Structure 1
Amino acid sequence: MPLDIHQFPCLSDNYGFLVHDPDSEETVCIDTPDADAYLKAAAERGWQITQIWNTHWHPDHAGGNEAIKAATGCTIVAPAEVTRISPIDRVVGHGDTVRIGDHEATVIDVGGHTNGHVAYHLPADEVAFVGDSVFALGCGRMFEGEAEQFWTSLQRIKGLPPATMLYCAHEYTQANAAFALHADPDNLDLQLYAEEIEGRRARREPTVPTKLERELLTNPFLRAEREDLRNRWGGREPHETFARLRAAKDDFKAA
């Protein structure tokens, strides 16, 4: 049977994700921004939390680990950097695999936002949980990594099947769209996407998940190798253009 993915708001702008396998009755928390919200959501569905898969160490992604483990006895799976704020049971890195029932996920190194950031790709289910590495029309701030590292990470995401649904961790899309239009103003696909986003947010609808195929057409951070963006933003190499885009986004204020 296919996985059930329950998405719900956490904190001010995070999303929580519970992934449930009806066959094995296992349930995985993808990150843990708010332990109480996760425990409540699982209890409402009669799901027993058996694992946590962390993407990176930031408190709004791993801060609920210990409380959820204390309540459920679950196994915490995470990159080594998560030990900065929480004990973990299994350290994972690029190329490792993890499972929920018969569903296998590949761990992908997407360092840049933090150096040890990972994503979890379930190819048979056409989904990837990408944390703060990439957003709808955006990417995470480069808190720890370097531009070339982050650009290489984004190439790994771009290399996934275009039909992959990207479950990113924040509702940042409206603000990201404003910068994307500034960065790539002649992109007709982006203009249509931005209009759709305005409507969805006006109706208080989430813009997550997003399909990789659409992001490849519209997300400037995934398109820094394109000649038009390199001409507009400079940079001899794509990662240099990416760095200029990321720096501009850090300082951007919509009109």
Structure 2
Amino acid sequence: MTIQIDQFPCRADNFGVLIHDSASGETALIDAPEETAILEAIKRTGWKPSVLFITHHHADHVEANLSLKQKFDLKIIGPKAEASKIPGIDQTVAEGDVLTFGGEEVRVIETPGHTAGHVSYYLPKSGVAFTADTLFALGCGRLFEAPAPVMYESLKKLAALPPETQVYCGHEYTLSNARFALTVDPTNPKLKARAEKIEKLRAEGKATLPTSIGEELETNPFLRWDDAAIRKNLGMENASDAEVFTEIRKRKDNF
């Protein structure tokens, strides 16, 4: 693998991500939450970005688009469904589109739910996915622009990626998500162990990301709609998978 990844904190709880292809020297940025933090990361790594991949239009993901475009002559790529809301966009993408970064493919996966046009970016050669505010460690994004069944279908797509896929998310929400997950899936030993690890990491000021698809399938209740213990705990043994997901999302909204 020639891809190197630098994840760094932005704003109150966002993450910025630089990805660098050592063979070609090409660098990309995933979302643009905050100019100062991004410029510091560029200076620290020495990686000058030429492309900016945007996942969705929310201000805490596009705030620095125009200033960074001016400084680095970035090409800004983002979801077609939200093009009018993304500052400086040059190229739109949709489900199934395949881009090239360095020496490998970047596959576009439409993952609406948090916003109506949210996309995730998947690099199969490196085994990395950038899911922003669709899939979080032990959670999923709040539903602002689409109903729960839409988010459920998006999460199904991500859950189908290879279990070893490393997942980079848009926010450091894992501690709160872990505490909620234990209310839904309290008898899961892997979740209990992970929650203890997360408590320790956050107490030390360390990031809990990246995660992996495999780890999320074992511990994230938003991907475990078919788990018998969760269904029994919710009193939803005979409900559809989408109904179970919807109930879990409602409970998280009120947690």
> 2:157 — aligned with what?
156
In structure 1, what is the Cα distance between the partners aligned to 2:23 and 2:86? 33
Contact between 1:63 and 1:85, CA under 8 Å: does it hold in 2? Answer: no
More deviation, 51-60/197-206: 197-206
Unaligned stretches of 5+ residues in structure 2: none
Contact between 1:130 and 1:167, CA under 8 Å: does it hold in 2? Answer: yes
Q: Specify the code of the residue in structure 1 equivalent to 2:14.
A: N
Partner of 1:185, secondary structure, is coil
> 1:211 — aligned with what?
212
Superposition map of 1:1-255 within 5 A: 2-80=2-80, 81-233=82-234, 234=236, 236-252=239-255
Residue 212 of structure 1 deviates from its aligned partner by 1.2
Partner of 1:44, secondary structure, is helix
In structure 1, what is the Cα distance between the partners aligned to 2:40 and 2:84? 25
**Cα deviation per residue 1:75-102 (whole Å; 9 max; x = unaligned)?**
0000021431413111001110122111
TM-score norm. by structure 2 comes to: 0.95
In structure 2, what is the Cα distance between the partners aligned to 1:171 and 1:37? 15
Residue 199 of structure 1 deviates from its aligned partner by 1.1
Partner of 1:195, secondary structure, is helix
In structure 1, what is the Cα distance between the partners aligned to 2:232 and 2:33? 39
In structure 2, what is the Cα distance between the partners aligned to 1:82 and 1:212? 29
**Cα deviation per residue 1:129-166 (whole Å; 9 max; x = unaligned)?**
00000111000001111111111111100100000010
In structure 1, what is the Cα distance between the partners aligned to 2:83 and 2:226? 32
Percent of counterpart pairs with the same letter? Answer: 44
In structure 2, what is the Cα distance between the partners aligned to 1:213 and 1:236? 24
TM-score norm. by structure 1 comes to: 0.95
In structure 1, what is the Cα distance between the partners aligned to 2:73 and 2:39? 12
Contact between 1:151 and 1:239, CA under 8 Å: does it hold in 2? Answer: yes
In structure 1, what is the Cα distance between the partners aligned to 2:169 and 2:129? 9
**Cα deviation per residue 1:83-123 (whole Å; 9 max; x = unaligned)?**
31413111001110122111211000111111111110101
Partner of 2:50, secondary structure, is strand
Unaligned stretches of 5+ residues in structure 1: none
Contact between 1:131 and 1:169, CA under 8 Å: does it hold in 2? Answer: yes
In structure 2, what is the Cα distance between the partners aligned to 1:99 and 1:35? 25
Q: Number of aligned residue pairs: give it.
A: 252
**Cα deviation per residue 1:152-186 (whole Å; 9 max; x = unaligned)?**
11110010000001000111000000000001111
In structure 2, what is the Cα distance between the partners aligned to 1:225 and 1:89? 41
In structure 1, what is the Cα distance between the partners aligned to 2:87 and 2:159? 31
In structure 1, what is the Cα distance between the partners aligned to 2:24 and 2:143? 38
Residue 227 of structure 1 deviates from its aligned partner by 2.9
Contact between 1:230 and 1:238, CA under 8 Å: does it hold in 2? Answer: no
Contact between 1:62 and 1:82, CA under 8 Å: does it hold in 2? Answer: no
In structure 2, what is the Cα distance between the partners aligned to 1:193 and 1:115? 31
In structure 2, what is the Cα distance between the partners aligned to 1:110 and 1:15? 19
In structure 1, what is the Cα distance between the partners aligned to 2:143 and 2:200? 30
In structure 1, what is the Cα distance between the partners aligned to 2:203 and 2:42? 29
Partner of 2:130, secondary structure, is strand
In structure 1, what is the Cα distance between the partners aligned to 2:138 and 2:188? 12
In structure 2, what is the Cα distance between the partners aligned to 1:7 and 1:87? 23
More deviation, 212-221/77-86: 77-86
Partner of 1:83, secondary structure, is helix
